[in-house]
């Protein structure tokens, strides 16, 4: 079925983006259904994600420059940010950490006793 | 340094920081490991998507060559370091009273 959809070359450009949308949906429902309140705590989420993601993006830029890994131009939108890193890769380092925080908060919403030890208390 | 070196270093630094730098360790908590148990299959699935379709490709010189679900084994170290660090920061800000609830 996917092969049929991909006959359209323009659809194929969304291949990497599809993974990001999948991750966003796969974790985002926790915010709505379990009311994890992660998005409401935007400042805390941003200050948790940004410092780490910047380090990983430096690594990404280095790896791209050295040719450790590279991307199929036919399967990304072709929008590039600084250091020749594709837009999808920048979004990856926002979407994936956010999904991780949503998972952690989702777990502790369902199992409140696992909050024990949180904040060292 | 190639992907293998940096992945191992990132893994080691994140584990060391969690155990010795941050006052409250994530690695000793059930909440972390339960989260990781959920995240890992999704990581393998999304990694498989990105690598089996050659959306992302790796230079054979930059990796050890061992692959799990089509993705280089280094990806597991990279993912673990990323997730542990971000969760550690989330916990750190909570402990400092920033938007606890």
Across A67-90, average pLDDT: 96
In a domain, A120, yes or no: no
Q: What percent of chain A has pLDDT over 90?
A: 83
**Burial of A71: CB neighbours in 10 Å, binned 0-12, 13-18, 19+:** buried
Q: Minimum mean pLDDT among A7-11, A45-49, A55-59, B70-74: which range?
A: A7-11
List C-alpha distances in Å: A118 to B24, B26, B87, B90, B91.
8, 9, 11, 11, 7
In the predicted model, is pLDDT for residue A60 greater than 80? Answer: yes
Q: State how far the Cα of B51 lies from the Cα of B31, in Å rounded to an integer.
A: 30
In a domain, A119, yes or no: no
Residue A71 β-bridge partners? B56
Mutate to test the interface with A, among B36, B40, B81, B86 (most CBs of A within 10 A): B86
Q: Which of residues 51 through 80 in chain B touch A, CB cutoff 8 A?
A: 53-59, 62
pLDDT-derived band at A10, boundaries 50, 70, 90: confident
What residue segments make up the domains of chain B, in order of their start? 3-95
In the predicted model, is pLDDT for residue A6 greater than 60? Answer: no
In a domain, A99, yes or no: yes
pLDDT score, position B24: 81
In a domain, A16, yes or no: yes
Closest CA to A69 of B61, B59, B84: B59
Q: What is the DSSP string of chain B?
A: --HHHHHHHHHHHHHHIIIIISSS-STT-HHHHHHHHHHHHHHHHHHHHHHHTTSEEE-TTTS---EETTEETHHHHHHHHHHHHHHHHHHHHHHTTSS--
The per-residue pLDDT for range B59-75, each reduced to its tens digit, is: 999 999 899 999 999 99
In the predicted model, is pLDDT for residue A3 greater than 60? Answer: no
In the predicted model, is pLDDT for residue A5 greater than 80? Answer: no
In a domain, A118, yes or no: no
pLDDT score, position B101: 84
Cα dihedral across residues A51, A52, A53, A59: positive or negative:
positive
Q: What percent of chain A has pLDDT over 70?
A: 92
- ipTM, 2 dp: 0.95
In the predicted model, is pLDDT for residue B56 greater than 60? Answer: yes
For residue B41, the distance in angstroms to the closest alpha carbon of chain A comes to 12
Question: pLDDT: is B19 or B101 the higher one?
Answer: B19
- Provide, as residue numbers in chain A, all residues whose Cβ is less than 8 Å from the Cβ of B32: 104
pLDDT score, position A8: 62
The per-residue pLDDT for range A80-98, each reduced to its tens digit, is: 999 999 999 999 999 999 9
Q: Angle A42-66/A87-110 helices, nearest 10 degrees? A: 140
In the predicted model, is pLDDT for residue A119 greater than 90? Answer: no
In the predicted model, is pLDDT for residue B30 greater than 60? Answer: yes
In a domain, A108, yes or no: yes
Under DSSP, the state recorded for A50 is H
pLDDT score, position B23: 82
Provide the H-helix boundaries in A34-86.
Answer: 42-66
Residue B68 β-bridge partners? B71
CB contact under 8 A, A119 and B82: no
- Provide, as residue numbers in chain A, all residues whose Cβ is less than 8 Å from the Cβ of B33: none
In a domain, A121, yes or no: no
pLDDT score, position B19: 95
């Amino acid at each position: 079925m996917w092969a049929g959809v991909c006959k359209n070359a323009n659809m194929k450009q969304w291949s990497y983006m599809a993974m990001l949308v999948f991750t966003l949906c796969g974790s985002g429902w926790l915010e709505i259904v379990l009311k994890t309140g992660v998005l409401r705590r935007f400042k805390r989420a941003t200050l948790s994600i940004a410092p780490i993601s910047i380090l990983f993006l430096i690594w990404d830029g280095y790896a791209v420059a050295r040719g450790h890994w590279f991307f199929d131009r036919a399967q990304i939108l072709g929008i590039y940010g600084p250091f020749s890193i594709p837009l999808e890769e920048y979004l990856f380092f926002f979407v994936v950490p956010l999904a991780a925080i949503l998972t952690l908060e989702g777990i502790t919403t369902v199992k409140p006793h696992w909050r024990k030890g949180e904040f060292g208390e | 340094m190639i992907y293998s070196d940096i992945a191992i270093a990132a893994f080691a630094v994140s584990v060391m920081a969690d155990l010795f730098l941050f006052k409250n360790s994530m690695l000793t908590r059930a909440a972390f490991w339960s989260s990781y148990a959920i995240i890992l299959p999704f990581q393998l699935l999304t990694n498989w998507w990105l690598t089996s379709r050659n959306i992302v490709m790796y230079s054979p010189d930059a990796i050890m060559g061992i692959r799990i679900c089509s993705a280089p084994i280094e990806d597991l170290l990279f993912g673990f370091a990323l997730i542990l660090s971000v969760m550690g920061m989330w916990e750190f800000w909570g402990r400092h009273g920033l938007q606890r609830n």
